[in-house]
Amino acid sequence: MTEPLLKITDLEVSYATRAGLVKAVDKVSLEVQRGETLGLVGESGCGKSTLGFSILRLVRPPGEITGGQIIFNGEDLLQKTEQEMRTIRGKRIAMIFQDPMTCLNPLQRIDDHFIETVRTHEKAVSAQEARQKAAELVDRLGIIADRLTDYPHQLSGGMRQRIMIGLALILNSELIIADEPTTSLDVIVEAQILDLMKELKASFELSMILITHNMGIVAELADRIAVMYAGKLMEVASAVELYDKPLHPYTQGLLRSIPNISLDSQKLETMPGSPPDLIEPPPGCRFHPRCPHVMDKCHTYEPIMKEVEDGHRVACWLY
């Protein structure tokens, strides 16, 4: 088996607050294969975005990566200098941020964003060549090249998100991290963006981490899915296996909470309680206060992640 493009081992990210130390990511281990889309799902506040920012070393104080390894294409990113990371960000690993309006400079035209991105990493490329490259790319994204002279506020939300996707693709990055890429969009534009991402995944053979709380989105795009809860990894499986046979009670709860318009009388289920305070997380399994199958040892002992079936891993005392 070939080496994964990205291998994260026992990653820890902590935030020092006045109330105490918060472990937003607690000993998480994951792999992303070349050409694979990994879906990273869970409730808000479970550590998904923090994990994504950690890969690019973009965690801001008081946050700090306090342990583990992030091996990208054979290189440990945690051993890189800040200058070395600047050559990696955007060029080899790109990120599609959640809200394009806060990421695009309101004083720059759209073509300025593309030209700056290209010429920062490829200094031999002229501004005219970079603009031509951007024009060809945005055309593939469904935006006419004339709109490159517009400012961000002149574009719709869907068009701005397409521009963010274009900025991530312009340098043929080896890995793209998409952080809630459709959160601010209405359902019609969201469907268009999802169709676009599926098309781009096939055309560019993308390796991607798709971070979302929307289980329907990962069903559309992901090859494998990792489920996080309270900073911990709960379950990892192929998308087909996870939807067909979810093992962890938390994963089962997430899937039951998806509305199904094909069922006339379906009752929308919810999970009782809320995610724990990560300053003082519950002992044992972090999900045990909300778990319908809780056992005595769940209160005391933390389950280890183990492989139950081929490639299907779960951290639960039921298995």
pLDDT score of 243 more than 90: yes
pLDDT score of 266 more than 70: no
pLDDT score of 181 more than 90: no
pLDDT confidence of residue 1: 59
Sign of the dihedral through C-alpha 244, 250, 253, 258? negative
pLDDT confidence of residue 213: 86
* Average pLDDT of the chain, as a whole number: 91
pLDDT band at 6 (very low <50, low <70, confident <90, very high): very high
pLDDT score of 258 more than 80: no
pLDDT band at 259 (very low <50, low <70, confident <90, very high): confident
> Helix, strand or coil for residue 49?
helix
The two tokens of residue 52 are: 């994504």
Match 């998806």 to its residue by tokens: 258
Backbone phi, psi, residue 17, to 5°: -115, 170
pLDDT band at 205 (very low <50, low <70, confident <90, very high): confident
d(CA 156, CA 148): 13
Q: How many helices (H) and strands (E) does the chain have?
A: 10, 12
Tens of pLDDT along 212-234?
988 888 888 899 999 999 999 99
d(CA 158, CA 83): 33
Contacts of residue 60, Cβ cutoff 8 Å, sequence gap at least 6: none
Tens of pLDDT along 132-159?
999 999 998 889 999 999 999 999 988 9
pLDDT score of 127 more than 80: yes
Q: pLDDT: is 214 or 29 the higher one?
A: 29
Per the CB < 8 A criterion, the answer to whether 294 and 287 are in contact is no
Sign of the dihedral through C-alpha 181, 185, 191, 192? negative
pTM for this predicted structure: 0.90
| Poorest-pLDDT segment among 57-61, 166-170, 269-273, 277-281 | 269-273
Domains of the chain: 6-80+224-314 (3.40.50.300)
d(CA 34, CA 31): 10
